[in-house]
Each structure stands twice: as C-alpha cells, then as structure tokens.
Amino acid sequence: MKGNILFKIILNLIVLFNCTKFIAQSDSEIFLLDIKFKQDKIEIFNVKKISNNKGYNNQPIFVSNDKILFTSERNLQNDIVQYDSSENSLKYLTNTLTSEYSPIRYKKNKITAVSLDKKGEQYLRIYDIKDNTFKIPFTDKIVGYYNYSKQIKNLIISSVLENNELVLYTSNLKTKEHTYVDNNTGRSIHNIPKYKFGQEKISYISKKDSIWNINYVDLSNYKTKTITTTLNNNEDICWFKDGSILTSHKNNLYIFNSKLSKNWKLLCSLEEYGITNISRIAINPDNDKLALVNSK
C-alpha cells in the first residue's frame, strides 16, 4: 500500500515537471506595432505596450484585424485577455480556478485554450465566454501548443507531451481521432498562406537536428518537408500573406523569403522602443499590425 502511494507521488511530480516544459513562465510584456511591409522592407510606427500588468503576458494571437487574444497573469494565475485596438480596451474572457494558455478563437463566443490546474492536470478546453463554462474534447493527449486547420472542420494540429518529448499530431475535436505526424517538435505551429483548397500545409518546428528546422506537413497526404533552418534555433515565427516568414533575435526582426534569398535577412531593430528580447510574434490578417512579446 505504501509503495503504491509513493509511486503516485513520484508520478505526480513527473507530470508537474513535464508540464513546465510546455509553459515556462517569466515576466513579459506585449507590444502592438503598426507596420507597412513589402517584400523585404518594413516601416514601423505607433508602437504601444498593450499589457498593463506585471508578470506573465504572452502568447498573442489575432482573432481579427483589431482584436488580439493573449495570456495574462493576475492573482497568481493566468487568464485569457482580449485587447481591441480600435477601442484601446482590455477584457478578460476567462475567470477560472485554473491557468489558461495558448488561446485561439474556435467559434462565435467560444475559444479554446490549454488549461493547467494546481495538480498539474493539463487539457485542451473549449470555453463558452458568454456563461464562463467549458468542456474538454479529449483527455488522452496532453496538448501543449496547437493551431487549427482552415480547411478541415474541427481539426487541430498540436504538439503533445509523449515519452518526455513533444510529438506532432492532428486531432479531430468531434471524433476524437488522432493522427501522428512527427516527433521532437516545437511550439510554433502555423497555417501557411497561399495554398488552394485541398492543398493545405501547416508549418511546425522540427528539433531533431542540432540546428532546428521549419518544416511543413501537407494535410492531404501527411507528408512532411523542410522549408528552411531556424535563425539561431529560435522557434517563434509568423507568416506574412506573401509567403515570407518573420522571426527575431534579441531586439531584431528578420525575414525569410525563398524567392528573394536562401538566407535570413535583417529587417529592422526595435531597440529604440525599449524592446530588447523578442520571443513570440503574431501578425493580423491584413498584415498591417504586429504583436510581439518582449521577455524580461
């Protein structure tokens, strides 16, 4: 009996340790920038910090041209916040006993997010923001990071914890079916623009080599292919609608466009705005606003 109790305690500690691999918190702030971008040139103006509290502010994602979801710390836990740039307003969308991460709009008045409770239980949840209720679509995969297919209804592509590493799967939120894609993957998962219906491709980070790669999976046949290497093993990227990839290193932004060059090109420095350690980045559908995280 004592042996079983000790085993459960050790198992819980392992789960808690593994969860921290997904979500390592540090003080951070979110900035919003208006931009004008064309090929390999960018103009930046109206730089503004939109997170107004100390602690962890991270994982920004646009749900429209003016609205951004992100994770923000309050009362020693994390909730999902919506910022509306047209009104310069902040609104908390969740108020739960757990911490929420990786928010994405699911349907009208619903979002999905990864929840982490004090016991170390980590699940993807679907939140109804009108009545503050939620449901868990499946419990057999520990989702860390994810994104949605734009062509296949209810399909997510996610990095999940499996055998002490992140493994890429697709999962159907309705049928609860999972399909393996690749192992030893990262947190950055994106829809690649400019593909016709039935030819959808999703980019992800492969960490199999000492220099990490940006790969894609073709959802029509599940074949994978390398696009390019990451810059200094930075896994945080986003895509412009012309097919260019944006990344960062310290206070600098870099661009990759295979039509223009085989290498990453320095785009600009943001040091003059007090931005010195860029991590996650996101761009709105019109490609005229950029949200980024400055880690302290």
Give one word for 233, left, alpha or beta, with left for phi > 0 and alpha for psi -120 to 50. Answer: left
pTM for the structure as a whole: 0.91
229 has a pLDDT exceeding 80 = yes
Radius of gyration of the chain from Cα atoms? 19
Residue 9 has pLDDT above 60, yes or no: no
Residue at 110: amino acid letter: K
Give the confidence band of 39 by pLDDT, cuts at 50, 70, 90: confident
For 2-295, the fitting CATH number among 3.20.20.150, 2.120.10.30, 3.30.70.260, 3.90.930.12 is 2.120.10.30
Q: Does residue 212 surpass a pLDDT of 70? A: yes
The answer to whether residue 8 scores a pLDDT higher than 90 is no
Of 23-27, 67-71, 123-127, which range is least confident?
23-27
Poorest-pLDDT segment among 165-169, 227-231, 256-260: 256-260
> In angstroms, rounded to a whole number, what is the distance separating the alpha carbons of residues 46 and 122?
37
**pLDDT over 70, % of the chain:** 92
| Distance (Å, whole) CA 263 – CA 295 | 26
Per-residue model confidence as pLDDT tens digits over 150-171:
999 999 999 999 999 999 999 9
Which residues have a Cβ under 8 Å from the Cβ of 276 and sit 6 or more positions away? Answer: 250, 251, 294
196 or 4: whose pLDDT is higher? 196
Domain range annotation of the chain: 2-295
Tell me the two tokens of residue 288: 């005229």
> Mean pLDDT for the chain?
92
Query: Which whole number is the average pLDDT over 172-196?
Result: 96
Supply the pLDDT for residue 23: 53
CA dist 29 and 50 (Å) reads: 8
CB 291 within 8 A of CB 281: yes
